[in-house]
Structure 1
Amino acid sequence: MDRRQLSLRIAFSQLRGINQMLAREILARIGSEEAFFEATDRQLAAVMGFSNRIFDRQYRDGLLKAAEVEADFTEAGHVDATYFTDADYPSRLHDCTDAPLMLYSTGSCRLNDVLTVGVVGTRHATPYGVDFCRKLVEGLASRVGAPVAVVSGLAYGIDVAAHRAAIECGLPTVAVLAHGLNTIYPAAHRNTAVEMVRSGGLLLTDYMSSAAVHKGNFLARNRIVAGISDCLVVVESAEKGGAMVTARIASDYDRDVFALPGRTSDIYSAGCNSLIRRNVASLVGSADDLIDAMRWPRRQQETAQSTLFPEISGEEQSVMDYLRERGEAQINRLSVDLDIPVGRLTGMLIEMEFKGLVLPYPGAKYRPA
């Protein structure tokens, strides 16, 4: 694509209130983006059969000027600008009425060539949620017999936990940003973003580099997280929050929505429990649940059988039985009730955590994994 065509497409994609349906209608009638920007206000109104503020000459000239600056940025930064008529535009987004006309990205993941699972949740992730993210992604990486990419928003909590789990498991992961590619927000996740790109992932946004970071952008970008995902998993969420918005959008897009259940007393499981109770989401407890529900192909299992359960000692078994019966326990209570010295119990619990048997919680509490 030549520089002039890129600028015209960027400018056209920024028309206020435009969507793919209206864009196709305008281009079908006027002929091209260049014709749209070269026509007079009256010519556009006559061709379209109505007047609109987006036909104003001064407004269109302003868009072109800003687009030329953005074209400079994309070329200098080796950013891919993907237009809605391009073959590599994410095909899933064509079914979404509010999908953007232009996407900016850096990275090598091609969304049309992979299965995609969106993973979202609270910024205040608990060990329970983070551990589930890891196990879910590990299961997808080891059991799905087709390329899979993990999609999220690079935010604190569940988002970044999902991205990091994907990197560790060798899956490409896609971050949908709420700002231009000239920055990374939050800055604390810059190294993760760099590693995502190096590992075959993608940073994706519909915002130009001139767009300011605004809180409203984060809700708006959720439509892209939902739109490019074959299914969406809500790991932890309060009853209100961005993850709940994304779940609603995904449901409206006819995407399969899953939610991790939690205890009714846990504030960051309340949203997930509500989604399940209202039949907005299906309960998910493992990668197998998702794979079966989505009917994704399974990887042929190796003939050598792996160890299904870690070996545990008699004392470890007594700890597991105690925690399963009560749900959780503080280390001092465990020591007293099981008659195990605190020093030995501490080392035992650390070993059990490495084995994936227990999860630590604030207040020196432990729960079964």
Structure 2
Amino acid sequence: MALEDIALTMTPGIGVKGAVHLLECFADARTIFAATGEELVRRAGVRPDIARNIVQRKGFAAAEREAAYCERNGIRAIASTDPEYPALLRETPDYPHDLYVQGDLRALGARCLAVVGTREATSYGVDMCNRLVEGLARRVPGLCIVSGLAFGIDVAAHRAALDAGIPTVAVLANSLPGVTPVQHTRVAHDMLARGGALATELPSQARQKGTFYVARNRIIAGLAAGCLVVESPDSGGSLLTAHCADSYNRSVMAVPGRATDRASAGTNHLIRNRKAQLVLTADDILRELMWDLGADPATLAPEAPTPDLTPEERTLLGCFPEADPVSAERLTETSGFDPGLTATLLVGLELAGAVRQLPGNRYIKA
């Protein structure tokens, strides 16, 4: 990243969309600062006072201080024109020109899924978060979970990724190397140690006004191919993240909850209003994101092998039709086992994932 890239976002009068517009007109920050005031007004349509700020390089003193701060604190600054900048985020209309990152930059460009939800997560929400992330981690190579490191579902998603052995990225609404909330500093350190990253658009000189959380949500949505809302009340940051993802033409998914649960009111409404695809399993997410359609076998990691079966369990499994359900009574007749042994073996096969029980005391091969 050139110093001009930091100076662009620190020039008075240039906001996020202003920087995007100038880059569309001049291609890179160095060309912007090499332009005359007349060129800036004519080609980009900027106001004369902002053009003067650019020509007079009013953002450079602050940019030099920021560059020194990043070097002291082990922070990597990347610009939207750098090859390391996340490609999906660059496609959004309001991408941040500058990103400040600690950790492995490759995580930001991995196969990312945003997982967000309420700060007041229930045990059901945390359990679903763990199940879905674990299931995806087994199936999807190069997977990375993106969230905001907030209380509730956010930190549950990060922890589920760490438990599953995959990288995870936290997008923060504060400048690095700080972590908000401070209670999650240990989680953040674990993320960095295991190939993840912390990212923010905020330089150290940003003044916190309490509005950065809303802007942060667009980055979470922009980094990912899809956004999964696990639990949310009728309003909140996770619904804003889902709205951003939808506006970026990214897949929006939601986990349903009971109609009477406040924590699931937002997700249920997203599903009811057809703003989100209902998901119950990791396979539902794979289908929605079309991550299971690649012809290359390496597209998906292999499933975990079925546990070893006893000789009796293998014998009973051999009595199953290939695709049709069969009753326990029929299995007893076919196998020659007594009913008690058949029932015991069926329990073992079900626990091993080899068969599934259906209504009416019938079973089918899994």
Q: TM-score, normalised by structure 1?
A: 0.75
**Pairing of 1:268-279 with structure 2 (within 5 A):** 268-279=263-274
Post-superposition Cα deviations, 1:104-153, rounded to whole Å, max 9, x if no partner, equal 10111414652111000000001000111111111011122x21000000
Unaligned regions of 5+ residues in structure 1, if any? 308-369
- Correspondence 1:73 to 2:69: yes
Post-superposition Cα deviations, 1:271-298, rounded to whole Å, max 9, x if no partner, equal 0000000111011111121112222243
CA distance in 1, matches of 2:166, 2:237: 24
Instruction: Name the structure 2 match of 1:299.
Output: 301
- Correspondence 1:27 to 2:26: yes
Post-superposition Cα deviations, 1:330-367, rounded to whole Å, max 9, x if no partner, equal xxxxxxxxxxxxxxxxxxxxxxxxxxxxxxxxxxxxxx
Post-superposition Cα deviations, 1:284-326, rounded to whole Å, max 9, x if no partner, equal 111121112222243223544479xxxxxxxxxxxxxxxxxxx
Instruction: Name the structure 2 match of 1:285.
Output: 280
Shift of 1:50: 5.5
Out of 15, 29, 33, which is 1:17 matched to? 15
Kindly report structure 1 stretches of 4+ aligned residues shifted beyond 6 Å: none
**Pairing of 1:32-181 with structure 2 (within 5 A):** 33-34=29-30, 36-37=32-33, 41-42=37-38, 44-45=40-41, 48=44, 51-57=47-53, 61-111=57-107, 113-144=109-140, 146-181=141-176
**Pairing of 1:217-366 with structure 2 (within 5 A):** 217-296=212-291, 297-305=299-307
Tell me the secondary structure at the aligned position of residue 88 of structure 1: coil
CA distance in 1, matches of 2:190, 2:89: 26
- Cα gap change, 1:25/1:169 in structure 2, threshold over 3 Å: closer, same or farther? closer
Tell me the secondary structure at the aligned position of residue 15 of structure 2: coil
Contact 1:117–1:231 (8 Å) recurs in 2: yes
Instruction: Name the structure 1 match of 2:324.
Output: none
CA distance in 2, matches of 1:265, 1:59: 59
Shift of 1:60: 5.4
Shift of 1:169: 0.9
Q: Which letter maps to 1:195?
A: D
Count matched residues: 299
Q: CA RMSD in A?
A: 2.3
Post-superposition Cα deviations, 1:252-288, rounded to whole Å, max 9, x if no partner, equal 1111111010111110100000000011101111112
Instruction: Name the structure 2 match of 1:199.
Output: 194
Contact 2:84–2:105 (8 Å) recurs in 1: no
Contact 1:41–1:57 (8 Å) recurs in 2: no
Deviates more, 1:112-121 or 1:247-256: 112-121
Q: Which letter maps to 1:198?
A: A
Tell me the secondary structure at the aligned position of residue 62 of structure 2: helix
Which one has the largest radius of gyration? 2
- Matched residues, percent identical? 41
CA distance in 2, matches of 1:306, 1:221: 48
- Cα gap change, 1:300/1:64 in structure 2, threshold over 3 Å: closer, same or farther? same
Tell me the secondary structure at the aligned position of residue 180 of structure 1: coil
Unaligned regions of 5+ residues in structure 2, if any? 292-298, 310-366
Shift of 1:17: 3.0
